[in-house]
Structure 1
Amino acid sequence: MKIDERHLIQLAAVVQAGGVTEGAALVGLSQPAVSRTLSMLEKRLGEPLFLKGRRPLQPTPLGRALADHGQVMLAASRKASDIVANFSQGRSGVVRVGGTPFFMDALISGMIADFQNAYPDVRVDQSYGYLSDLRAAINADRIDLAVCPIDILEEGSGMEFREILPGRNVVACRATHPLLLRRKLRTSDLLDYPWIAPPPGSPLLEDLRSLLLSLGATEIKIRYSGGSLTSAINYMKETDALTVLPHSVVFAFRKDKSITALPVAIPHPERALGLLRRADTPRAPAVDAFAKHIRQSFDNLKHLIKRHEQAVVWGA
């Protein structure tokens, strides 16, 4: 004999609530509809489901056994409803985010942790890349969005870019660097020291080359290259080598008090950090919630970053 699963769910709701009216409310049905279901089920089984004259309603052994199966289905139905509600509200799902290494390590990874403290059921898959790789990954649907610096977004690219932080580069060094003791620091003084080169493919590498050429360098003294952000900073802390970093990255390490920025203005391209994603594809609610969190995090940081910039670069 095949029994309709919906009938078992209604039976379980009545047993759980102890009454037909209360059970009907649990499953969003009317009391007459549930009463008809129970009556029809008893006739089909040829056995009573509840003991007569008991209030609240008490199931017979058969009624209890069937209600137990219905309870499993009722719990599964509620869980499925919760999953749908959480997904539609962005509280569950997967976010695939890619980004440039230095920004991801210095700033975004901490923001991901804050996001998941509020959205623990959202999984975040992070990857690294520079603009061309990130754009290809978005187009191939390997990632949902990218956090990266961009100077110009080509018209007709099919991409949407939303700025979250204006770009500004600085010359970074260890906090006890000899150049910080100079009463009047000249940009030409920078050529007296070796440099740490950002990883290949990083826009910072081109910025470093442009800076040194603008200072009249005929030969670039690269002492160390190709390392991650952590390795570059650990190297910098132990040497007099200099490097070019986004000011926001130096800001992220302010509490460590091991690196800082030299008080010199340097040329660099107009470039902004932002969120890049396709403009014409449906967006999962969790991805939208994550993007909103990143934007709000940077909105909260902007004034602190600006104040830090004025203190370490212009206030030195």
Structure 2
Amino acid sequence: MTPSSAQQIAHRLKLRHLRFMKVLSETINLSDTAAQLNVSYPAIIKTRQEIEAVLGSRLLVGRGGSTELTDIGRSLARYSCQILDAMDCLGEDVIAQRDGLQGHVVIGVRLQHGLRWLAPALVAFMERQPQVSVSLVDGLHEDVARDAVDLALGRMGPPKWLGTLNFEAFMPIRSVVVSSNPAPPVCHTEGEIDWSELLDHHWCLPPDGTPLRERFNDLIREKKLSLPKRLTTFNDMTTHAELHRAGSFLGICTDMSALEMEREGIVRIITPPIVALDDQLAIMWHATRPLRPVTRTLKEFLLHRARAAPAIERTASS
């Protein structure tokens, strides 16, 4: 394609074309696209024809339920979403500079000590920005990737998320193996712990797909052992603690959470921190979509607060 052709494409595409492509990429159906945009079906057909005339290429291939976007259609849809997101951010940025920062941010957080760090930081931010509201929900990597949350605070996890998400790590996380109190008999043996024996017992583990579970699975595979046949999954430390309080389990958690449960007489720590489970507490956000001004400002505030905290304060929370 010659430079002039590229310029003609950029000049002839309109915002309504981009909105059409964004909705079409979600529905892959012209009737549903017409309904979502609240226009007639003939108007949608005309819009499709206008775009195809500009591109010199079809947008869709197939019929009925097997319809899909062409490669060029997917490219245009991707750029359309990015441009429209940027336009939305532009509007919010103008309003923020004119009327003051405002809006709502959804933050995903799961780690208990991460929440303890985050809570006072949010209070300080909202005192500075009284027109901003925040929701705290259970959400991590996948939730950021699909825009269910704006920011998340949790383990960095495996490198598979790099490129999809951006990370700023600021606090080390070390993890240990714990046993319910009283512990299973194998945990009373002296000397080095036998993983093959431990794995015969009932475990409490985070669900598949979470960073700590993936690191644990990798550790067991490296030892050429099988994962526990008896396990119960938990999604928060309150559930983890109550399971140990009620039954006899082995489990993994951060050393800080383990020490708290040990002080309460719920568990006993049976390993020193396991290097293979080490991670970093990080703030994460979507890598390819522009952050709204309110989200960007909160992210920068949290990162500044994290960098300014004394090292002893950060590591004491890990």
**Distance in 2 between the 1:286 and 1:218 partners?**
43
**Distance in 2 between the 1:167 and 1:262 partners?**
18
**Distance in 1 between the 2:255 and 2:310 partners?**
14
Q: Which residue of 1 aligns with 2:315?
A: 303
Q: Which residue of 2 aligns with 1:152?
A: 159
Residue among 179, 197, 211 paired with 1:203: 211
**Distance in 2 between the 1:303 and 1:203 partners?**
20
**Distance in 2 between the 1:179 and 1:305 partners?**
31
Q: Which residue of 2 aligns with 1:193?
A: 201
Q: Deviations over 1:194-235 (max 9, x none)?
A: 212322332333333334445554462324235543222211
Change beyond 3 A, Cα 1:185–1:107: same
After TM superposition, list the pairs within 5 Å mapping 1:126-205 onto structure 2: 126-137=136-147, 142-150=148-156, 151-152=158-159, 157=163, 159-177=165-183, 181-188=188-195, 189-205=197-213
Change beyond 3 A, Cα 1:201–1:112: same
Does structure 2 retain, via aligned residues, the 8 Å contact 1:111–1:294? no
Which residues of structure 1 form unaligned runs of 5+? 1-82, 307-316
**Distance in 1 between the 2:310 and 2:178 partners?**
22
The structural deviation recorded for 1:125 is 0.9
Change beyond 3 A, Cα 1:214–1:153: closer
SS in structure 2 at match of 1:199: coil
Q: Which residue of 2 aligns with 1:247?
A: 255
The structural deviation recorded for 1:180 is 5.8
SS in structure 1 at match of 2:276: coil
Give the number of aligned pairs. 212
SS in structure 2 at match of 1:162: strand
Does structure 2 retain, via aligned residues, the 8 Å contact 1:94–1:287? no
Change beyond 3 A, Cα 1:252–1:112: farther
Amino acid at match of 1:171: V
After TM superposition, list the pairs within 5 Å mapping 1:1-316 onto structure 2: 87=100, 94-99=104-109, 101=110, 103=111, 106-118=112-124, 119-120=126-127, 121=130, 122-137=132-147, 142-150=148-156, 151-152=158-159, 157=163, 159-177=165-183, 181-188=188-195, 189-215=197-223, 217-218=225-226, 220-226=228-234, 228-251=236-259, 253=261, 256-264=264-272, 266=274, 268=276, 271-278=279-286, 280-281=290-291, 283-284=293-294, 285-293=297-305, 299-304=311-316
SS in structure 1 at match of 2:137: strand
TM-score, normalised by the number of residues in structure 2: 0.52
**Distance in 2 between the 1:234 and 1:166 partners?**
26
RMSD of aligned residue pairs (Cα, Å): 3.8
**Distance in 2 between the 1:205 and 1:158 partners?**
20
**Distance in 2 between the 1:84 and 1:278 partners?**
24
Q: Deviations over 1:220-254 (max 9, x none)?
A: 23242355432222111333311122334435656
Q: Deviations over 1:96-141 (max 9, x none)?
A: 2123x3x1xx12333343235433534221222342332221xxxx
Does structure 2 retain, via aligned residues, the 8 Å contact 1:148–1:273? yes
SS in structure 2 at match of 1:302: helix
Percent identity of paired positions between Structure 1 and Structure 2: 17
